[in-house]
C-alpha cells in the first residue's frame, strides 16, 4: 500500500514523497522579475515531493495581477534560475506553472494599456490586484472588459506557451512545467461555455472548445519532452466567474485526448478553488474523470487538490484514489509541512493579511518545528 511518504515516479519527475506544494500567487515579484526573497521562500519548502511555482505569465499579454513573475524576459529567466538553483541545492524538485490569464486582467497591466484578451468579449464579474508604484499599496479592482481574440492570433498564443516552457526548462532550470488550464484563466475560458461563445473552430462543440488547450499541451510537450509536463484543471470551480453548461463530457473528452501525450501528472482541483469540495449545483464524478484518462492509456500521476488535510490526503493515497496530493495554504505557513505531517505535529496558522504583496513578513518568517 502506498502512503504519502512512498516515492512516486511521475513521468520524468522522481518524487521522494507525495506531498506537493500547490501553485500560490504571492505578488512579490516587482516588474515581473523573481528575486532573492522568492528564492528563499521556495528553498525553505524544498522537502515537498514537488514544488509547483506560483502561476507565471508566458507573455506580457498573459499578465493579470501586479507583481506576479513572468517567463518572457531574460531578467525573469535569470531571476527564476536563482530560485531553481536554491531548490536543487536543498535537494528539491520544482516545476513552473505556465499562465495566460485571458480576461482576468486590467488594461493597466497590459501592453500599451490595451484591453485584455479572451475567447469572447464577455467581462468576468471578478477582480484583479493592482499595486500603486508610488505608495506600494495594493488593492483589488474589477477586471477590464476584454476583446475577443481573432482566430489568426491563436497560433501565437500556442507559440508563447511552447517558448515559455522551453525557456523555463533550458534557461531557468525548472525540472518541468505545469500547463494552467484551471480557475477561469485563458485556457479554461476557451474550454467553458460561460466564457466561450465563438462561432469558429474554437467555439461551440466540445471538440472545438478543447482545441486550444490541446494545441498548447502538444506544443509544450514537443518543446520540453514527454514526462516533464503536467496540467491543472478545475472542472466545476466558479472561480473568476467561470462555468460550463455540462462539464463532465467536456473534461472526459479532454482527458482522453491528453492520455497519449505522456504527461507527468494531471492536477485536479475538486470543487470550488479554495472553498467547498462538493458543489450541490455543480455535481461532478471525479472517479469517472480519472477512469476516462486511464482507459485511454494515460499513465501520468493523478494529483488532487482542494481542502485536503493530512488525514484526508493519507486516505486518498492509501486507497488508490490519488497518487499525490497538493497542499496550498498549509505550505504558506509551514515550510516544513512534510516533517509536520510525518510526525503529526501541529501546524502554524497563516497570516492571511500577508498572502498578497509585501516582503518577508508572512512569507519567509514562519518557524519550523523542532
Secondary structure percentages of the chain, helix, strand, coil, to 5: 35, 15, 50
Residues 79/115, Cβ–Cβ less than 8 Å: no
Three-class SS state of 19: strand
Secondary structure (H, E, C), 267-324: EEECCCCCCCCCCCCCCCCHHHHHHHHHHCCCCCEEEEECCCCHHHHHHHHHCCCCCE
pLDDT of residue 35: 98
Taking only Cα atoms into account, the Rg of the chain, rounded to an integer number of angstroms, comes to 19
pLDDT of residue 245: 97
pLDDT of residue 193: 98
C-alpha distances out from residue 99 to 203, 291, 355, Å = 21, 27, 19
Catalytic-role residue among 72, 185, 253, 354: 185
* C-alpha cell read off for 123: 467581462
pLDDT of residue 288: 98
pLDDT of residue 133: 80
In sign, the C-alpha dihedral spanning 323, 328, 329, 333 is positive
Sequence ranges of the domains in the chain: 8-354
User: What distance, in Å, lies between the first and last C-alpha atoms of the chain?
Assistant: 29
The predicted model scores a pTM of: 0.98
Residues 189/196, Cβ–Cβ less than 8 Å: yes
Q: Which residues of the chain have pLDDT under 70?
A: none
Residues 39/45, Cβ–Cβ less than 8 Å: no
65 labelled catalytic:
no
Three-class SS state of 86: helix
CA dist., res. 299 & res. 196, Å (int): 30
- pLDDT tens per residue, range 133-191: 888 888 999 999 999 999 999 999 999 999 999 999 999 999 999 999 999 999 999 99
pLDDT of residue 73: 97
- pLDDT tens per residue, range 306-345: 999 999 999 999 999 999 999 999 999 999 999 999 999 9
CATH topology of domain 8-354: TIM Barrel (3.20.20)
Amino acid at each position: 500500500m502506498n502512503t504519502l511518504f512512498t516515492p512516486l515516479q511521475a513521468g520524468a519527475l522522481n518524487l521522494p514523497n507525495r506531498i506537493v506544494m500547490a501553485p500560490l500567487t504571492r505578488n512579490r515579484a516587482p516588474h515581473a522579475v523573481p528575486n532573492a526573497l522568492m528564492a528563499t521562500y521556495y528553498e525553505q519548502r524544498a522537502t515537498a515531493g514537488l514544488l509547483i511555482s506560483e502561476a507565471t505569465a508566458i507573455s506580457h499579454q498573459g499578465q493579470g495581477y501586479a507583481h506576479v513573475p513572468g517567463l518572457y524576459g531574460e531578467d525573469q529567466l535569470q531571476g527564476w534560475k536563482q530560485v531553481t538553483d536554491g531548490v536543487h541545492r536543498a535537494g528539491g524538485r520544482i516545476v513552473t506553472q505556465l499562465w495566460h490569464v485571458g480576461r482576468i486582467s486590467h488594461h493597466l497591466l497590459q501592453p500599451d494599456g490595451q484591453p485584455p484578451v479572451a475567447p469572447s468579449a464577455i467581462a468576468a464579474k471578478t477582480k484583479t490586484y493592482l499595486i500603486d508604484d508610488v505608495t506600494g499599496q495594493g488593492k483589488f479592482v474589477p477586471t477590464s472588459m476584454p476583446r475577443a481574440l481573432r482566430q489568426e492570433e491563436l497560433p501565437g498564443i500556442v507559440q508563447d506557451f511552447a517558448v515559455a516552457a522551453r525557456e523555463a526548462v533550458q534557461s531557468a532550470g525548472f525540472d518541468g512545467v505545469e500547463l494552467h488550464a484551471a480557475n477561469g484563466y485563458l485556457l479554461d475560458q476557451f474550454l467553458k461555455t460561460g466564457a466561450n461563445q465563438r462561432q469558429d473552430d474554437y467555439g461551440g462543440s466540445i471538440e472545438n472548445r478543447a482545441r486550444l488547450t490541446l494545441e498548447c499541451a502538444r506544443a509544450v510537450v514537443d518543446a520540453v519532452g514527454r514526462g516533464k509536463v503536467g496540467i491543472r484543471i478545475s472542472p466545476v470551480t466558479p472561480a473568476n466567474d467561470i462555468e460550463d453548461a455540462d462539464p463532465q463530457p467536456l473534461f472526459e473528452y479532454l482527458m482522453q485526448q491528453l492520455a497519449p501525450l505522456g504527461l507527468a501528472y494531471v492536477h485536479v482541483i475538486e470543487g470550488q478553488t479554495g472553498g467547498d469540495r462538493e458543489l450541490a449545483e455543480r455535481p461532478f464524478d471525479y472517479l469517472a474523470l480519472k477512469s476516462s484518462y486511464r482507459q485511454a492509456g494515460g499513465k501520468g500521476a493523478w494529483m488532487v487538490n482542494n481542502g485536503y488535510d493530512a488525514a484526508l490526503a493519507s486516505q486518498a493515497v492509501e486507497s488508490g484514489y490519488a497518487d499525490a496530493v497538493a497542499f496550498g495554504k498549509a505550505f504558506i505557513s509551514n515550510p516544513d509541512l512534510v516533517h509536520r505531517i510525518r510526525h503529526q505535529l501541529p501546524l502554524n496558522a497563516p497570516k492571511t493579511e500577508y498572502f498578497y504583496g509585501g516582503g518577508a513578513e508572512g512569507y519567509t518568517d514562519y518557524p519550523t518545528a523542532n
